[in-house]
Chains A and B, each alone.
Chain A
């Protein structure tokens, strides 16, 4: 099934081609003055680097790069352009000199530093030799979860991930403080459906979006609950779920979306996710363990009641780690809540804000 050819390193060839693509795209981004071109090219950059990550076998990271880099960040950048002028100011040659020197200098230092890095996949490299190896060896016994990335993220280093979740929540708060929750867009009655000319009827788009939105949401839950087994988890699933909401807003209008997923609701869910995550940690303390020590998530007499059929019969050498399974599932749900609600809140903030200040030259008919 694998197309292995002796004497031809497909991996290396792919790496080289993808890197050349990245360099070309970056050069084009640096050269363009139009923000929209830059945004499109950055989307392409994300796609290429995600493919590159896949080639490097970092499937979870590639997943995140795909949904965040190519998906949500493009849309948020568009929202940011709406609030600004949309074109870079011309900068004189002399003022560009120092940044260019700095950038080239830092780049040279970084390239010099890579010479000392261990080879890709080198078994003796620090990343593979000490902690990483210990995780790989211990995960099966400690938790019985096949995806070590998920195990490390949500159990071994659950405290880190709690911090990251709080950071995401803080991002939602930050955007909301600057741009608001977009709720004024709901009350705004002057917003007409935009239409520039007679050809502006997007029946095909509406039908396709109607078909796709439930599929995207369903896929988000697949990614969520499959995260223990394959690439994926709460972060990725949360972003995908948010993308479903964003697609609805793009096609059917922000007002309709806000009627379905109320900004207040999104706000509450974002907070609920962090609360759920930290609450699981506190539950572990209450039941006699450390913070986020899932082995103590359930009191012993309750853990004994959990029926075996959920995961199939346990074999004596590898008992079910119910606390780990349910703990990871619960905190991943918390991450899902926070990430999805945060992305939706940020989108509401940008899109709702941009409704207030229509750009000159926007095609808008029927407003008279």
Chain B
């Protein structure tokens, strides 16, 4: 049982690392800031979730698990917020998205509601 949990946890962690790797490739290859933010933030949270779930399976139920869950909570709190702030700052600084500016923002620019 413990052995199965170990392998399952290791597999999840490796899957998380694979996701992080894919995200890093996206950050390297995507054409503009927004697509890169998209790649980084999604794979960061997803990879972290998989990886920490895996480590939780390995550690069993202990104080270590609590700390792992805390790490997960912090990443889930901070990573999306930072990505949002970054995209927001990039847009308001005048970086036009690669796909062209989109309608919601044009409406905003006219001074309408948010």
**Residues B88 and A202 in contact, CB atoms below 8 Å apart:** yes
Q: When the two chains form the complex, which single residue of B10, B92, B109 contacts A196, counting CB atoms closer than 8 Å?
A: B92
Bound Cα distance A196, B77 (Å): 26
| B-facing residues in A84-138 (Cβ within 8 Å) | none
**Residues B92 and A199 in contact, CB atoms below 8 Å apart:** yes
| A-facing residues in B59-89 (Cβ within 8 Å) | 59, 74, 77-78, 80-81, 84-85, 88
**Residues B108 and A198 in contact, CB atoms below 8 Å apart:** yes
Could you tell me the distance in whole angstroms from the C-beta of B94 to the nearest C-beta in chain A? 8
**Residues B58 and A1 in contact, CB atoms below 8 Å apart:** yes
Q: A1-B58, A202-B85, A204-B85 are in contact. Are A196 and B93 (CB under 8 A)?
A: yes
Q: When the two chains form the complex, which single residue of B10, B92, B111 contacts A200, counting CB atoms closer than 8 Å?
A: B92
Interface membership of A211, Cβ < 8 A: yes
**Residues B108 and A212 in contact, CB atoms below 8 Å apart:** no
Interface membership of A363, Cβ < 8 A: yes
Interface membership of A24, Cβ < 8 A: no
Residues of A within 8 Å of B105, CB to CB, are 198-199
Could you tell me the distance in whole angstroms from the C-beta of A368 to the nearest C-beta in chain B? 16
Residue interface mask A195-210, B partner, CB < 8 A = 1: 0111111101101110
**Residues B77 and A212 in contact, CB atoms below 8 Å apart:** yes
| A-facing residues in B97-114 (Cβ within 8 Å) | 105, 108-109, 111, 114
Bound Cα distance A363, B89 (Å): 11
How many chain-A residues does the 8 Å CB contact rule pick out? 18
Could you tell me the distance in whole angstroms from the C-beta of B71 to the nearest C-beta in chain A? 11
Minimum CB distance partner of B114 in chain A? A201
**Residues B77 and A211 in contact, CB atoms below 8 Å apart:** yes
B contact patch SS: helix
Q: A204-B84, A363-B93 are in contact. Are A198 and B111 (CB under 8 A)?
A: yes
| B-facing residues in A23-37 (Cβ within 8 Å) | none
**Residues A199 and B108 in contact, CB atoms below 8 Å apart:** yes
Q: Which among B84, B92, B109 has the highest number of chain A CB atoms within 10 Å?
A: B92
Residues of B within 8 Å of A201, CB to CB, are 88, 114
Residues of B within 8 Å of A209, CB to CB, are 81
Could you tell me the distance in whole angstroms from the C-beta of B55 to the nearest C-beta in chain A? 11
Bound Cα distance A215, B76 (Å): 14
Bound Cα distance A202, B82 (Å): 10
| B-facing residues in A175-223 (Cβ within 8 Å) | 196-202, 204-205, 207-209, 211-212, 215
**Residues B77 and A208 in contact, CB atoms below 8 Å apart:** yes
**Residues A200 and B88 in contact, CB atoms below 8 Å apart:** yes
B interface residues, Cβ below 8 angstroms from A: 6, 10, 58-59, 74, 77-78, 80-81, 84-85, 88, 91-94, 105, 108-109, 111, 114
Q: Give 18 new A-B contacts, CB below 8 A, not counting A204-B81, A204-B85.
A: A1-B6, A1-B58, A197-B91, A197-B93, A198-B111, A199-B108, A200-B92, A201-B114, A204-B84, A205-B81, A205-B84, A207-B81, A208-B78, A212-B77, A212-B78, A215-B74, A363-B92, A363-B93
Question: Can you give 25 A-B contacts (C-beta < 8 A)?
Answer: A1-B58, A1-B59, A3-B10, A197-B91, A197-B93, A197-B109, A198-B105, A198-B108, A198-B109, A198-B114, A199-B91, A199-B105, A199-B108, A200-B92, A201-B114, A202-B85, A204-B80, A204-B85, A205-B81, A209-B81, A211-B77, A212-B74, A212-B78, A215-B74, A363-B92
